Amino acid sequence: MAAASEDPFHHCLTTLRQTDFDRYLACLLLPEDKRGPVAALYAFNAELARVRELVRDPLPGEIRLQWWRDLLEGSAAGDASANPIAAGLMRTIDTFRLPRTPLATMTEARIFDLYDDPMPDRQAFELYAGETASALIQLTALVLDAEAAPSVASAAGHAGIAQLVAGCLLLLPYHRSRHQIYIPGDILAATGLTAETFLAGEERNRIAAAIAAFSGFGRDHLRKARAESSSVKGGVKAAFLPVSLAESVFAKAERAGADLLDRPLHLSPLGRQWRLWRASRRKAF
């Protein structure tokens, strides 16, 4: 817990370095007056994403998510200022007049993470991505430039899906270790697999094909996001900075094939910094 006198935005940025390094790096490339508020949004997202790591059973995880939902609805028990991430989030909401409903919906979507149920199909994955990664891009855009933020809606939808596919590929060995799978069931079925046979790891050629198809699903949405990006206005393009890392993840995953089950992909910190810096200079992802 941070000291009471610590600026919650500073705490959010510092915490983000440990909980979501890519978004931490992206924050460093933002205008200084936007860095802390965006870090608060990203730190909130990271807290939701790691709930399963902090609990042994789903019920305590649901209780943690419910606390965040209650906070957003104004009924949380205790003083939110004692939690610097909560304090930073609420300050960002108040300062930039952010809608609370998408943030509350994020907490609902993350209940899926607490259980081992497989992702049913691509439509369910797209809905999950829309309520998490895509919503985060749109909320970030509201902080960066509220007037230009509506221009990101279509691109954010596709970009969030692409970013989530990349994130799931990066975490695939970890998800497998806890008997969880995010690759949609219809992609598995098209390659002759079920969630159980994928996790068993024995049908290597089919598993490589499923990974390639999942990556292709992400690439398709990344292409659509880029096609829509011409309508994105001004400084809100910085909301897409973390998406600039997705393409390199897809390429590495496709080369790794079934080996990805056992060995996580390695993206060097320097390589990540360079890709994010290039994207910020080009104002493109």
Distances (CA, A) of 94 to 48, 88, 90, 100: 20, 10, 6, 10
Q: Interior CA angle at 96 toward 240 and 275, to 5°?
A: 20
Model confidence at 4, in pLDDT bands (50, 70, 90)?
very low
Q: Would the pLDDT of 32 be above 50?
A: yes
Where along the chain do its domains lie?
A: 1-115, 118-285
| Structure confidence at residue 103 (pLDDT) | 97
DSSP assignment of 238-271: GGGGGGGGHHHHHHHHHHHGGGGGTS-----HHH
Q: Would the pLDDT of 79 be above 80?
A: no
| Structure confidence at residue 74 (pLDDT) | 84
| Structure confidence at residue 162 (pLDDT) | 98
Model confidence at 252, in pLDDT bands (50, 70, 90)?
very high
| Structure confidence at residue 215 (pLDDT) | 98
Report the pLDDT averaged over residues 197-218. Answer: 98
Cα 261 to Cα 127: distance, rounded to the nearest angstrom: 25
Model confidence at 3, in pLDDT bands (50, 70, 90)?
very low
Cα 218 to Cα 246: distance, rounded to the nearest angstrom: 8
Closest-CA residue to 261 (of 187, 227, 213, 211) = 211
| Structure confidence at residue 283 (pLDDT) | 86
What fold does the segment set 118-285 form as a domain? Farnesyl Diphosphate Synthase (1.10.600)
Picking from 75-89, 160-174, 212-226, which range would have the lowest pLDDT averaged per residue?
75-89
The CB density around residue 58, as the number of other CB atoms within 10 Å, is: 15
